[in-house]
Amino acid sequence: QKEVEQDPGPLSVPEGAIVSLNCTYSNSAFQYFMWYRQYSRKGPELLMYTYSSGNKEDGRFTAQVDKSSKYISLFIRDSQPSDSATYLCAMSVGGATNKLIFGTGTLLAVQP
């Protein structure tokens, strides 16, 4: 079993829809959770960062962490064609370690 599981998609939605992207994990020691966005043939860029449980909002994006269920989500409101990309979740135990564990990524297509 992988430490981090992510549905690869592809996920296709119409413009303006609310998108929900999810990851589950098995290591209860994870404390730091990130979402990266990767456009085709580009490097991933950090989109959202969350520490421990709770929600974090940034514009149209909301990151949610439920440590009791070992489940994290990224919500995109009013999705735009420019949101079409692969979204990767990543997590770390923090502390003295710098090892980041990535999900395989979900390919999102927002149709105009």
Query: Which residues in this chain contact another protein in the complex, by CB under 8 A?
Result: 6, 8, 32, 34, 36, 41-46, 49, 51, 88, 90, 92, 94-100, 102-105
Encode 5-37: b = buried (16+ Cβ within 10 Å), e = exposed.
ebeeeeeebeeeeebebbbbbeeeebbbbbbbb
Nearer Cβ to another protein (51/71) = 51
Nearer Cβ to another protein (59/96) = 96
Task: Give the shortest CB-12-to-another protein separation in angstroms.
Answer: 17
Tokens representing 1 are 């079993």
Task: Provide CB contacts within 8 A for 98, sequence distance 6+.
Answer: 92
Q: How far apart are CA 30 and CA 61, in angstroms?
A: 22
Nearer Cβ to another protein (25/36) = 36
Nearer Cβ to another protein (37/83) = 37
Q: How far apart are CA 93 and CA 6, in angstroms?
A: 18
